[in-house]
Each structure stands twice: as structure tokens, then as C-alpha cells.
């Protein structure tokens, strides 16, 4: 039987397209699913959420590893709270389908409780010659028994720095050292600037749900308080110090989610800012800005810091390759490349930090000083509704400094009780 040319061409084309689709289906799995018979790793990360960071990691970090090992690494940027819930499941039998996890420091303790992660201690020869810095060991409340075994390795750290526009230098009181200021000295300097310029020039991120809780927390740690602590005797001393120089604070702080633009544009002259953002400000004009550690108080140089760690699930489909990926990301040169590439985070490996000697990276250098010498704390793992805790602290800050104008102990005590209501019962 003869077939019409159009029908024959149509049938041939349909067969061809079907073959292509079946071939593609055998090579790709939709929605991040793994493909049978193909070496793949799913890397879930709280880091690298912006398009620029994500593309940098895919092209410049994961790409070479994939080529060398003949493996495909699927990068999934995640909300860690949601990932933990999906992994555990309501009935305790959930599964979020990842092999390697980059976790925030306060979440690590909760992941440990799932017993899903591989103890890397038996494979420690892979990390010989690498000196990891783990800030948890410097925090008073960290429970050492939870660190037994090596389930997560440090990958990136961050802190806060003082950033100064050189326009402020003519007003610096004689004898003050920017690299070794106390909070009282900074307050005096800010008041001198405000008196001369007609307004405060000290800015920080005080928009709702921004970084205020961490900046204030560092000051309170400097006076001997805890975190989140706004009502202890030490915290009250910190409030007194803040009140003494409130006129030196910019009237625009409640508008700021980030201090990069206000500092670069010269609206504000001095700021307490996350080290990665401090690096961005400095790099915009290295001749115009100075970076230094945050000021110190009677108890030392306080700072709320962060750290991301990486671990491997013990049921990973390609467990040796998953471990190899962790080994790769913690190689000193690669780790430095990662941390510089995502905006100037601090490499938590001494040997990686040593490679900085050939580069001028003041944001990382000063952050390392804070992390090595400071009075440190981080977001505690035992709070629910952290966003609400942030709101309570923000409200207290504006009420004490700009409404009451004095240390309202009764109000702060009640606010602290509200904070404690969100602490999870152990």
C-alpha cells in the first residue's frame, strides 16, 4: 500500500521526536530527581541564594569537580527550616532527597538529632594538614558533648566590622585608635561629628527584620551580657552607653536594610556592618574607607558571628563522591576561592587564610581578628519564631533610645520575658 507523502513525513517526524524525548527522559530527571545509572550528587545549601552567587558556584567551583570526577552535582538553595521539616516529615518518615548539606551553625545541632549524617572522623586522613576553626568552641553556652564525632566541617564564617569614611577622620579625638576603639570612645567621636555636622552620621541596618538584633547583640556582649539579652545588669550598662551617644546616630537608620549604598554615597560616615558588606563598601573606593574590628567594652570585643558547615548523609547514593565533594570544598585554595567569590566571607581553615597574604583583603583580615579574639555568640538553636524575637528587640531599641530616653528597666524586663517565651523547652 502506498502512503501519502505528507502522512509519511508526519509519521516519520513523530517517530523522530518521540525518540528524542525518550532519550532526553533517560538522561534528565525532572524536579531535581536522581537518574538511575548515573553518578549524581544533590547539594542542598543555605548559602548562595542570589543568582550571581549561585552561578559563580556552579561554574567556578562545582564545574571543575564534576569534570574531574565524572559526576553531576545538583545545587539546591533551600530554606533550612523547611528542609528539616521535609526531611523529618510529620510522621518521622519524610525525605527531602539530598546527599550533602551546607547548614547554619545553630541548625547543625538539630540536624545531628536526626542521626542522618555520616561521622567523618574515620575518614580524617582526607583532611590531614588542614586546621579547621570552629567558633562553637569559643561560645560559653555551647554544649561540648554535642560536638563528639565529626559530622559537619566548617566551610565559611562571618562577623561584623566597623566601617569608616575618611571624611570622619578630622573629627577623631586626639589619641583615639580606630583599630582599638572602645564603645565610649566611639560614642564621643560620634557626638563630635554630630555637633559639627548638625546630624548623626552613625548608621546601621535598623529596618524591620534586618540586622539590628545582631549589631545590638554585639554591643551587649561587649559589656558582659548574653544573646539575646536586653535586660541583664550587663545589658543595662550597654543601654546606658548607647543612650550617651544617641545624638550621633543617623536619623535615617530605620530605612536601612543594607548599609552599602548609604556608606558608598556618603550619607553616613561610620557603620557597624556585616563583613561581606563591609568588603563591598571598601572595594567601591579603597582610598576612601577604613575597616576595623568593632569597638570593645569592659568584657572585650563582642560580636554576633555566623558559620556555615558541610556534612554528608550516611545514606547518600554515591557516598564516596559525596565525601569527595566535601574534601574538595575544604581544600585551602578552593575554600578561599569560594569565600572570596561569594562576597568576602571568612575561610575557616587556617591554611586558606594564610593564602591571603598575597592579597589585600582587610574585611577578611579584620574579621579573623574578631573571630580569634572576640567575645562571640551566634543565633541560638533553641528559639522558635526567631522573626518575632527580632521584632521585640527592635521595638525595645527604638523605645529606649528615641521615645523614653532612659533605661526603662521595667519595660526591658517585660520584653525579655516575651523573648524567653519563644525559647524551646529542652
CA neighbours closer than 13 Å in the CB half-sphere of residue 2: 3
pLDDT greater at residue 250 or residue 385: 250
The confidence score (pLDDT) of residue 216 equals 97
Using the predicted structure, report yes or no on whether residue 236 has a pLDDT greater than 90: yes
Over residues 192-200, the mean pLDDT reads 98
- Who has greater pLDDT, 269 or 362? 269
Is the distance from CB of 228 to CB of 389 less than 8 angstroms? Answer: yes
Residues 249-254: contacts with CB under 8 Å, at least 24 apart:
249/190, 249/200, 249/202, 249/203, 249/401, 250/199, 250/200, 250/201, 250/202, 250/203, 251/199, 251/200, 252/203, 253/203, 253/204, 253/205, 253/206, 254/206, 254/207, 254/398
The reported pLDDT for the residue numbered 94 is 54
**Residue 382 clears pLDDT 70, i.e. is over it:** yes
Q: What is the DSSP letter of 255?
A: G
Predicted pLDDT at 32: 39
Q: Tell me what pLDDT residue 97 has.
A: 84
Does the pLDDT value for residue 226 go beyond 70? yes
Partners of residue 404 on adjacent β-strands? none
Q: What is the mean pLDDT of residues 393-416?
A: 98
Bond prior to 228 in cis (omega within 30° of 0) = yes
DSSP characters over 176-228: --GGG-BHHHHHHHHHHHHHHHSS--EE---STTSSHHHHHHHHHHHTT--TT
Mean pLDDT of the chain: 86
Question: In angstroms, rounded to a whole number, what is the distance separating the alpha carbons of residues 316 and 120?
Answer: 14
Q: Kindly tell me if the per-residue pLDDT of 144 is higher than 70.
A: no
The per-residue pLDDT for 41 is 96
Least-confidence region, from 91-100, 368-377, 408-417: 91-100
pTM for the whole structure: 0.82
Residues 391-415, mean pLDDT to the nearest whole number: 98
DSSP string, 95-163: ----SEEEEEHHHHHHHHTTT-BPP-GGGGGGGTT--B--GGGGSTT--GGGG-S---EEEEEE-EEEE
| pLDDT, position 203 | 96
Percent of the residues in the chain that have a pLDDT greater than 90, as a whole number: 67
| Residue corresponding to grid cell 577604613 | 290
| Structural element, H or E, at residue 271 | strand 270-274
| 36 pLDDT higher than 70 | no
62 vs 48: which has the higher pLDDT? 62
pLDDT range class, residue 413, cuts 50, 70, 90: very high
DSSP state of 248: G
C-alpha cell at 137: 568552641
Q: CB-based contacts of 284: which residues, under 8 Å, 6+ apart?
A: 260, 264
Domains of the chain: 38-157+306-374 (3.40.190.10), 160-304+382-420 (3.40.190.10)
Question: Which range scores top for mean pLDDT: 97-106, 107-116, 167-176, 338-347?
Answer: 167-176
In the structure, what pLDDT confidence band is assigned to residue 112 with cuts at 50, 70 and 90? confident
Which whole-number Å values give the CA distances from 208 to 92, 212, 347, 379, in the listed order? 35, 8, 30, 18
Q: Is the pLDDT assigned to residue 12 strictly greater than 70? A: no
Amino acid at each position: 500500500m502506498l502512503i501519502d507523502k505528507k502522512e509519511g513525513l508526519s509519521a516519520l517526524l513523530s517517530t523522530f521526536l518521540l525518540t528524542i524525548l525518550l532519550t532526553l527522559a533517560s538522561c534528565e530527571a525532572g524536579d531535581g530527581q536522581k537518574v538511575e545509572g548515573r553518578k549524581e550528587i544533590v547539594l542542598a545549601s543555605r548559602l548562595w541564594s542570589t543568582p550571581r552567587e549561585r552561578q559563580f558556584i556552579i561554574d567556578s567551583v562545582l564545574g571543575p569537580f564534576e569534570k574531574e570526577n565524572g559526576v553531576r552535582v545538583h545545587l539546591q538553595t533551600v530554606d533550612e527550616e523547611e528542609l528539616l521539616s521535609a526531611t523529618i516529615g510529620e510522621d518521622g518518615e519524610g525525605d527531602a532527597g539530598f546527599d550533602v548539606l551546607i547548614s547554619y551553625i545553630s541548625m547543625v545541632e538539630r540536624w545531628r538529632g536526626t542521626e542522618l549524617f555520616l561521622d567523618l572522623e574515620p575518614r580524617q586522613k582526607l583532611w590531614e594538614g588542614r586546621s579547621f576553626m570552629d567558633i562553637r568552641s569559643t561560645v560559653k553556652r555551647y554544649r561540648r558533648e554535642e560536638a563528639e564525632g565529626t559530622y559537619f566541617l566548617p566551610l565559611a564564617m562571618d562577623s561584623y566590622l566597623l566601617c569608616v569614611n575618611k571624611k570622619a577622620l578630622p573629627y577623631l579625638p586626639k589619641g583615639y585608635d580606630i583599630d582599638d576603639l572602645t564603645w565610649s570612645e566611639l560614642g564621643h567621636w560620634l557626638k563630635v561629628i554630630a555637633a559639627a555636622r548638625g546630624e548623626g552620621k552613625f548608621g546601621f541596618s535598623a529596618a524591620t527584620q534586618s540586622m539590628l538584633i545582631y549589631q545590638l547583640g554585639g554591643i551587649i556582649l561587649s559589656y558582659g551580657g548574653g544573646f539575646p539579652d536586653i535586660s541583664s545588669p550587663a545589658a543595662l550598662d550597654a543601654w546606658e552607653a548607647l543612650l550617651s551617644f544617641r545624638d550621633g546616630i543617623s536619623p535615617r537608620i530605620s530605612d536601612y536594610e543594607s548599609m552599602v549604598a548609604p556608606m558608598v554615597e556618603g550619607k553616613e560616615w561610620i557603620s557597624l556592618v556585616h563583613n561581606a558588606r563591609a568588603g563591598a563598601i571598601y572595594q567601591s573606593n579603597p582610598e576612601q574607607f577604613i575597616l576595623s574590628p568593632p569597638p570593645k567594652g569592659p568584657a572585650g570585643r563582642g560580636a554576633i558571628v555566623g558559620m556555615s558547615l558541610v556534612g554528608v548523609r550516611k545514606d547518600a547514593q554515591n557516598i564516596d563522591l559525596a565525601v569527595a565533594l566535601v574534601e574538595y570544598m575544604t581544600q585551602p585554595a578552593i575554600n578561599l576561592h569560594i569565600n572570596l567569590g561569594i562576597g568576602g566571607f571568612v575561610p575557616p581553615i587556617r591554611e586558606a587564610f594564610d593564602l591571603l597574604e598575597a592579597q589585600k583583603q582587610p574585611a577578611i583580615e579584620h574579621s579573623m581578628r574578631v573571630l580569634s579574639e572576640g567575645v562571640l555568640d551566634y543565633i541560638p538553636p533553641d528559639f522558635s519564631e526567631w522573626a518575632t524575637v527580632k521584632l521585640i528587640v527592635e521595638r525595645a531599641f527604638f523605645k529606649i533610645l528615641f521615645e523614653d530616653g532612659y533605661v526603662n528597666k521595667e519595660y526591658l524586663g517585660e520584653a525579655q520575658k516575651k523573648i524567653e517565651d519563644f525559647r524551646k523547652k529542652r
